[in-house]
């Protein structure tokens, strides 16, 4: 059965108001559509933590640079709706660009820390676009919780900072990365990959996992990064960034890793940009 779809703030608020009257706990899962199992796992996580789940589908133009893939970003509202219905969502919110950004729109929400590295360097418009649209989505729906994926780990940290700084009364829940059987992190952009590139792509996770194991065993950051970068280039990736950073403040690490940290990578395969990140489990830590 198709899920109900609302396209205006006013209709969204009508639905939320009805649920509030019945004391339903409400979750929002913001997406840009192009849904895959990663998104659906976030919907299920939302379902576990709330009574009603709204999934927003909005390909947000302000988080794309002028040379990026806004026009070609995968859009399949019918397919998305079917998947969301099965995953247990209750409502799709799919506003038009004009509903989100009327012609006189002039406001910008920016988080200064956490956004000056990694994807913030490669995609200078990205995070301000994300924090502005997420602020709007939050204020449009005022959910109790909102769920974001750890695939966009830096984005998750930025959203947490935004929520803390602006005092949104919303709990942010992060959902773990979902991978294909061969290890490739699920992403709407995987659909862009040629057959040959799709065969190469899983090497990204393989290399990051080996690096994480080495770092966890005490190998120093510098030689591990050099080894990892060599292997990625050898496999055919162009590297946008490859970094070892603390997993809360994104401070770059040197020498032996002793803090709670992750490896962060963005790479290009042909015209497709892939990102991934992997936690480092120190050998003294219980491995999850």
Residue 64 lies near a copy of itself (rule: CB under 8 A)? no
Residue 178 annotated as part of some ligand binding site: yes
Q: Tell whether 152 is in a known binding site.
A: yes
| CA–CA separation, 165 and 233 (whole Å) | 39
Residue window 120-139: x/- pattern of binding to a copy of itself, with contact defined by CB under 8 A: -----------x---xx--x
Total Cβ atoms within 10 A of residue 283: 10
Choose between 170 and 215: whose C-beta lies nearer to a copy of itself: 170
Binding map of a copy of itself across residues 136-155, x = CB under 8 A, - = no contact:
x--xx-x-------------
Q: How far is the CB of 98 from a copy of itself (least distance, A)?
A: 13
Sequence-distant (≥ 6) Cβ neighbours of residue 54 within 8 angstroms: 12, 15, 16, 26, 27, 28, 29, 89, 90, 91, 92, 93, 141, 143
Look-up of token digits 């038009």: 96
CB 104 to a copy of itself: min, Å:
7
Q: Confirm whether residue 150 is marked as ligand binding.
A: yes
Which residue(s) pair with 83 in the sheet? none
The answer to whether residue 39 is catalytic is yes
| Residue 110 contacts a copy of itself per CB under 8 A | yes
Number of residues that bind a copy of itself (CB under 8 A): 28
The site map against a copy of itself for 3-42 (x = CB under 8 A) is: ------x---x-----------------------------
In whole angstroms, what is the distance from residue 158 CA to residue 134 CA? 11
Q: Is 254 in the site for a copy of itself (CB under 8 A)?
A: no
Does the protein bind a copy of itself through residue 106 (CB under 8 A)? yes
* Encoded tokens for 227: 């080894």
Rounded distance, CA 124 to CA 47, Å? Answer: 34
- Other C-beta atoms closer than 10 Å to the C-beta of 164 total 11
Cβ proximity to a copy of itself, 141 vs 203, nearer residue: 141
Q: Which is nearer to a copy of itself, 9 or 229 (CB)?
A: 9
Q: What does each C-alpha distance from 58 to 39, 51, 113, 152, 212 come to in angstroms?
A: 14, 23, 26, 17, 34
Q: Measured between alpha carbons, how far is 263 from 251 in angstroms, rounded to an integer?
A: 11
Residues marked as catalytic: 39
The site for a copy of itself (CB under 8 A) is made up of: 9, 13, 102, 104-114, 131, 135-136, 139-140, 142, 161-162, 164-169
Q: Which residues are annotated as a binding site?
A: 32-39, 63, 149-152, 155, 178, 186-189
């Amino acid at each position: 059965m198709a899920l109900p779809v609302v396209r205006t703030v006013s209709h969204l608020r009508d639905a939320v108001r009805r649920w509030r009257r019945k004391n339903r706990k409400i979750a929002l899962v913001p997406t840009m559509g192009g849904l895959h199992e990663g998104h659906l796992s976030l919907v299920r996580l939302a379902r576990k933590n709330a009574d009603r789940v709204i999934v927003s589908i909005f390909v947000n133009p302000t988080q794309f640079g002028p040379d990026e893939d806004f026009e070609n970003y995968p859009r399949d509202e019918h397919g998305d709706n079917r998947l969301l219905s099965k995953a247990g969502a209750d409502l799709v919110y799919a506003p038009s660009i004009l509903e989100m950004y009327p012609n006189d729109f002039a406001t910008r929400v920016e988080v200064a820390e956490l956004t000056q590295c990694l994807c913030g360097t490669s995609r200078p418009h990205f995070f301000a676009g994300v924090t502005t649209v997420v602020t709007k989505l939050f204020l449009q729906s005022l959910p109790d919780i909102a769920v974001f994926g750890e695939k966009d780990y830096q984005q998750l940290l930025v959203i947490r900072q935004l929520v803390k700084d602006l005092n949104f009364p919303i709990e942010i829940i992060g959902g773990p990365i979902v991978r294909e059987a061969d290890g490739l992190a699920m992403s709407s952009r995987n659909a862009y990959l040629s057959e040959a590139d799709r065969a190469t792509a899983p090497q990204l996770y393989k290399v990051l996992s080996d690096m994480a194991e080495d770092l966890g065993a005490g190998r120093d950051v510098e030689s591990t990064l050099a080894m990892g970068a060599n292997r990625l280039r050898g496999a055919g990736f162009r590297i946008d960034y490859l970094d070892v950073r603390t997993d809360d403040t994104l401070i770059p690490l040197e020498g032996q890793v002793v803090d709670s940290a992750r490896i962060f990578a963005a790479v290009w395969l042909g015209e497709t940009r892939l990102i991934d990140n992997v936690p480092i489990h120190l050998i003294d830590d219980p491995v999850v």
